[in-house]
A and B are shown apart, each in its own frame.
Chain A
Amino acid sequence: MAEGDLQPGSKQFPIELDHDTPEHAANWPERWRAIRETTPRAWTESHGGFWVATRLEDLVGIAQRDDVFSTHKELDRVTGETTGGLSIPPVPGIRSIPNESDKPEWNGIRGFINRHFAPRAVELRRQRARNFTAALVDMVIEKGHFDIVDDLTNPLPALVTMDLFGFPLEEWRAFADPFHTMVYTPASSPEFAATIKGLDHFHARVDEEVAKRRLEPKDDLLTIFATGLIDAEPLGYETIHDLAFNILAGGVDTTTALTSNTLLYLSRHPDQRQELINRPDVMPLAREEFIRYFSPIHGLARNAMSDVEVNGWKIDKGDRVLLAYSAANRDPDAFEDPEEVKLDRFPNKHVGFGAGMHRCIGSFLARMMWECMVTEVLARMPDYRVEEDKIESYHTVAKVNGWIHIPAIFTPGKKVGATIS
C-alpha cells in the first residue's frame, strides 16, 4: 500500500458524501467548502463510488482530457439499464446526446446542431423571447402577486425551447412539467420511475412532428431532425430521441433555476437590486456572477477510460469523477471572496456552463433568456418582494439547483398588451 493511501479522501479512507440528498441540498455551500479545504480530491463510496473534483484547476484539467475521460452512455433500449454517462446517480432509461457521447460520434452530433445555438442564431430569437416575457408578466401584472417559478422562470425557457424545436407553443407545460419534476426528485425515490415515464409523451410527440416535417419541412429543429444528415446518414429514431432529450433537458430547467435564484437573491438584497436598476451596463457581469454563484448544474460526471494522472491526481481506469461545478465556482484559489455575490465581478472564469468540449451548447440562449426575464421584472415590478415563508426549494440539487415555488408580491401595474404567438 502506498503511503498516500491512508490520506483522508483516498479510496481506502473515503469521505461521507451523498450529494443526492435533502441534507446536501440544504447545506451544499458549507459542505463543499469543508471538503475542498480538507480533501479537495475525495473518494466517496456513494452511488457505486466516485471521486469529487472540488477545485477549479482540477476540474478544468479533467474536463479538457476528453481523450481519457468519457461521457459516453451505453443504454440497453429493452431493459433501460445504462453504464457510463454523465449523471451520478445514474439516470436509467435515457441517454442524452451530444452530452453523453465521445469523439468521434460527438463531432457529428454537436456539429449538426451547433449553429442553431450560436450567438447569431440566439440574437435572432431575442425579440420573440422578449415578447413571451412581456406576455407572461401581463398575465400577473394587475394582480400584484405571482409565483416567480410557475408564472415566469418555468414557462419562459419552456416556451423558447418549444419555439426552437417547432412544437406548438401551447404544449409547453406537457413537456416542461415531467422534466421539472424529474430533476428535483431523488433517483432513489419511488416517484422517480413515474417521472421518467412522463417523458414518453415527449418522445411520442417528437416522433409525430418529425414525421410531419418529412412531408412538410419548416424552419425549425424538428425539420433538421427529419431531413438532416449526420456523417452523411439520416438520423434514426434513437438518435432523434436522445438529441431531443438533451435539448429539452438543457432548455427547460437550468435557466429556470438560474433566474429563480437570481430573483430570490435580489429580493433579499434590495441594495444590489437597486444597483442593477441604476446601472444596466452591469447586467452582463451580474449575469455571469449569478451563474458562478448558483451553478444551476450542480455537477456532472466523467468516466476514466484508462489510468491517468491530472495535476498529480492519480485516477484509475473505470473510476467515475464528479466535476462539482458548484464547488469549483467557489474555489478561493480562483475567486476572491467566493461566497459573496459581487455584481460587477470580473475577471470571472467560472465553470457554470461546464468546461472542455461539452461546454453547455445552450449557454448563449440561457444568457439571453435570463436577460429578458430579469430586465422585465426589474422594469415592471421593481418593488417585488418574495414571501419567504412560502418558498420551497428542490429536495435535491444533485442535478439542478432550483426552486419549486417562490411566491412574491409587488405593486400592481398595467398590461402592455403582449401575447404569446
Chain B
Amino acid sequence: MRVKIDPEVCQGHAMCFLACPQVFELSDEDGHAFVADENVPPEFEHAVEQAVRSCPEGAITTF
C-alpha cells in the first residue's frame, strides 16, 4: 500500500496523525500533514485506512 496527501486539500485537522503517527507527520509551519515515505509498512495499513476515513477534507488517498 502507498499513501498520499493532497496538499491543496489538507487543512491540518491532524486526524491522520492521531490515526497513525508512524506514517503521517505534521508541519511545524502550519500543522498540515505530510508523509515522508509514501510506502506504508504492512503493520500500519489498517491505521492508514482509518486515517483516510477520519479526514474531514477527504485529502488522503491510498493506492
Contact = CB atoms under 8 A, between A and B. Distances in A.
Interface of A: 56, 60, 64, 111, 114-115, 117-121, 284-285, 288, 346-351, 353, 355-357, 359, 363-364
Nearest to A359: B11
A111 B11 CA distance: 13
A117 B31 contact: yes
Given A118-B28, A355-B11, A346 B19 contact: yes
Q: Which of B13, B51, B55, B57 has the most CB of A within 10 A?
A: B13
Interface in B1-51: 9, 11-15, 18-19, 26-31, 50-51
- 6 smallest CB-CB distances across A and B, nearest first, come from A347-B54, A347-B53, A359-B11, A120-B28, A114-B30, A349-B56
B62 to A, nearest CB: 14
Contacts of B19: 346-347
B47 to A, nearest CB: 10
Given A114-B29, A119-B26, 13 more contacts: A115-B29, A118-B27, A118-B31, A119-B14, A119-B31, A284-B18, A288-B15, A349-B15, A355-B57, A356-B11, A359-B12, A359-B13, A363-B13
Nearest to A351: B56
A64 B6 CA distance: 13
B45 to A, nearest CB: 15
A211 B31 CA distance: 31
B39 to A, nearest CB: 22
A349 B19 CA distance: 11
Contacts of A64: 9, 57
12 contacts: A60-B57, A115-B29, A117-B31, A118-B30, A119-B26, A119-B28, A284-B18, A347-B53, A348-B15, A359-B13, A363-B12, A363-B13
A201 to B, nearest CB: 32
Nearest to B11: A359
Nearest to A350: B56
A60 B15 CA distance: 16
A357 B11 contact: yes
Nearest to A110: B30
Nearest to B53: A347
A347 B56 contact: no
B17 to A, nearest CB: 8
A363 B51 CA distance: 18
Interface residues of A: mostly helix, strand, loop or mixed? helix
Contacts of B14: 119, 363-364
Contacts of A120: 28
B33 to A, nearest CB: 10
Nearest to B31: A118
Nearest to A121: B28
A119 B29 CA distance: 8
Nearest to A119: B26
A12 to B, nearest CB: 33
Contact of A349 (B12, B26, B28, B55): B55
A346 B20 CA distance: 12
B19 to A, nearest CB: 7
Nearest to A287: B18
A351 B50 CA distance: 17
Nearest to B10: A359
Given A346-B19, A349-B15, A115 B28 contact: yes
A315 B29 CA distance: 35
Contact of B30 (A115, A348, A355, A356): A115
A354 to B, nearest CB: 8
A15 to B, nearest CB: 26
Nearest to A59: B56
Choose among A60, A348, A357 the residue with the greatest number of B CB atoms under 10 Å from its CB.
A348
B11 to A, nearest CB: 4
Contacts of A363: 12-14, 31
